[in-house]
Amino acid sequence: MIGIGVIGYGYWGPNLVRNFADIPSVDLRWVCDLQTERLARLRLRYPAVQITEDMNTVLADPKVDAVAIATPVSTHFDLAMQALKAGKSVFVEKPITATSEEAQRLIEEADKRGLVIAVDHTFIHTGAVKKLRELIKGDLGEVYYYDSVRVNLGMFQRDVSVMWDLAVHDLSIMDFVLDARPVAVSAIGMAHVDGSPENIAYLNLHFDCKLMAHVHVNWLAPLKVRRTLVGGSNKMVVYDDLEPSEKIKVYDRGITLDPMAPKAGERINQMRIGYRAGDMFAPQLDIVEALGAELSEFVTCVEQGKGPIADGAAGLRVVRILEAATRSMANGGVVVKLPGERVLA
């Protein structure tokens, strides 16, 4: 049995508790929150789980192997670092930290101690995103573009912009499904409410290849859109997360290139561009609850000392892009280079 403590029982914490409670190998021991009325609500539903307002109580319990942190982003680093130092593995709500330096330090601490650090990139555990990855590794051919629109009439947040709130999902998905890593970022956005962070943003990821990625996020849209287009040299995909069952549609469409006899005055290597418009198909998808699958994977990693798919390094890569995009947005959209590796080994 893996002993678990959940830190934070606000918006997302109840989902963690519900899913941990359903994993047979988990001993859900503690829930910690600063607000007593939240704990009272927890007590009604899960009377066997202990409650506390002090995280140290959780960390002092030797039967706790790992903690899951679902608190505001600005607190992730301190809480996760305390937990690691107390010898607990950690599962952290996305984005992993507020800065890349913080993420780097958490990774180092976890490595030093041989503990697991995981970030909650929930979407990569959905049937749709797993299928998208399979298609990109397989049928699509060379990936030409990745275009995501993620807009709705949303909850303005006080301390993070719409980019840290919504685009983080797209960045975590791209980190999982694409073979290439972005080398630079540019972004523009605007805050329509004085004193609030940006509520609309457009984000471009630049790559060292023919791939372009673009993300549109918006808290002030009249309708909810969750649609990603991925164009490849062989096929194209529409991933619409709001479709009840056909979330992934694969189109056997694209262009064809034939060598063309040059006319007088034309360059010899000109190509005739044609079109293919073939069948569309929507594969049946896994319908497991993503968060449940993700927490099960985390528990297995803690048991076996393995690294999860969305490990600290994945969390760090996403935060680096968000940081660079924030810098770009503050400077009118200038291109900001990203550090590190370019293409996956």
Contact footprint for its own copies (CB under 8 A):
45, 47-48, 144-145, 147, 149, 151, 153, 156, 186, 188, 190, 192-196, 200, 202, 204, 206, 210, 212, 214, 216, 218, 220-224, 229, 231, 233, 236-238, 242, 244-246, 249, 251-255, 257, 267, 269-271, 273, 275, 277-284, 332-335
| Nearer CB in complex with its own copies: 60/273 | 273
Integer angstrom CA distances of residue 195 from 161, 190, 292: 11, 12, 37
Least Å distance between CB 61 and its own copies? 22
Q: How far is CA 20 from the centre of its chain?
A: 20
Distance CA 172, CA 130 (A): 13
Instruction: For the CB of residue 312, give the shortest distance to its own copies in the complex, in Å.
Output: 31
Q: Give min distance, CB of 263 to its own copies, in A.
A: 12
Nearer Cβ to its own copies (112/275): 275
In this structure, how many other beta carbons lie within 10 angstroms of the beta carbon of residue 89?
26
Of 169 and 216, the one with the shorter C-beta distance to its own copies is 216
Q: Which two tokens mark 127?
A: 């049937």
Least separation, in Å, of the C-beta of 200 and its own copies?
6
CB of 86 to its own copies, least distance (A): 29
Q: What are the φ and ψ backbone dihedral angles of 213, each rounded to 5 degrees?
A: -130, 140
For residues 44 and 345, which CB has a smaller minimum distance to its own copies in the complex?
Answer: 44
Cα separation, 151 vs 60, in Å, equals 42
Closest to its own copies by CB, 60 or 343: 343
Alpha helices in 47-137 (DSSP H): 55-60, 73-85, 100-113, 127-137
- Report, in Å, the least distance between residue 227 CB and its own copies: 9
Nearest by Cα to 183 from 321, 333, 315: 321
Nearer to its own copies, 37 or 194 (CB): 194
DSSP state of 247: -
Q: Are 26 and 49 in contact (CB under 8 A)?
A: no
